[in-house]
Structure 1
Amino acid sequence: MFVGGARQKVARRRSGFWLYFSYIFSLFLISVLILGSGFVLIRFVSGLENNSRLVNLAGGQRTLAQDILNISLQLASNKDSDTQVLKKHLNLSFNTFVDNQKALEERNPDLELGGKNSDIIDAFLSEIKPDYQGIVSSALIVKSRAPGDPVVFSAVREMIRFENDFSIKMDRVVSQYELESKEKVLYAESLAIVIAGVILGVIFSEALFIFWPLSQRINRTIFETERFRLAVENTSDAVIIFNKNGSAIYSNETLEHFTGFSEYELLGERFESQRFWGDLIEPDFFDRIWDQVFEKKEKFSGELIQKNKVGMERDLKVSFFPVLNKRSRVEFLVGILRDITSEKEIDRAKSEFVSLASHQMKSPLSKTKWLTESLLAGDSGKFNEEQDCQLKEIYESNQRMIDLVNGLLDVSRIELGVFKFEPQLVNVSEVVRTVLSEVEVQAKKKNLRIVQFIQEGLPQIESDQKLIRIIFQNLISNAVKYTGNNGFVEITVKIAKKDQVFDQKPLKEDSLFISVKDNGVGIPENQKDKIFSKLFRADNVRMMDVEGTGLGLYVVKSIINKIGGEIWFESSVSTETVSGTGNISGTAFYVLMPLHQKQ
Structure 2
Amino acid sequence: MRNDLTTWLSAHRLDLSAQWADLIGDPLPPAIGEQADDDGAVATISSPVVSVDQLYDLLIMAADGDCAALDSRIHAISHSDDIRDQALNERLGRAFEFRRSFRTLLRRHISDPARVIELIDEFETLFEYVLSTLADGWAAHNAEVIREREFIAESLDSASAAADQRALQLKALNDISQRLSASLDRSQLLDLVATSLHRLTGVVHIAVWMPQDEDLDCLVADYTCGEDAEQTQGMQIAPSNQQDLTCRAFATGRIQFEMVPDAVQQGAWYRSGCGVLALPMLLHEHAIGVVTLQDPNPVEQLRFQQDLAQGVISQAAIALQNAQLYEKVRALNVQLEQRVEERTRQLQEEKDRLATVNEISAEVSSTLDLSSLLNTSLTALASISQAEHASIMLIEGDDSSLLVTRAVYGVPPSPGNYIRFPLGSGIAGWVAQQRKGVLVDDISTDERWVSIPGSSLRKREGSMIAVPLLMQGEVLGVISISHRESGFFQEGHLRLLNACAGPIAIGVNNANLFQMITAEAERRYELLDRQQTEASQIEAILQNLSDGVIVCDLYGSVLMANQAAGSVLGRTIEDLLLWNLHDIITRYLGPRSTEMPLAELLSRPLDAHEQRRIFTSTAKVGLRMVSMTMGPVLKEDGQLLGALLVVRDITREIEADRLKTEFIGTMSHELRTPMTAIKGFTQLLAMGGLGPLNDTQREFVSTIHSNTERMIALINDVLDITKIESGSVDLEWRSLHLAEALSGVMSEIQGLIGARNHELNITIPPGLPLVRADAHRLHQILFNLISNAVKYTPRGGKIWVQAHEAHVADLPDYLRSSVAADKRYAQVNIRDTGVGIDREDVSRIFDRFYRTENPLKIEAGGTGLGLSLVKPLVELLGGKIWVESTLGEGSTFSFILPAI
TM-score interval, normalised by the smaller of the two chains: 0.3 to 0.5
| Length-normalised TM-score, structure 1 | 0.44
Higher relative contact order by CA 8 Å / sep ≥ 6: 1 or 2? 1
Q: Decide which structure has the larger Cα Rg and report it.
A: 2
| Length-normalised TM-score, structure 2 | 0.31
More helix by share: 1
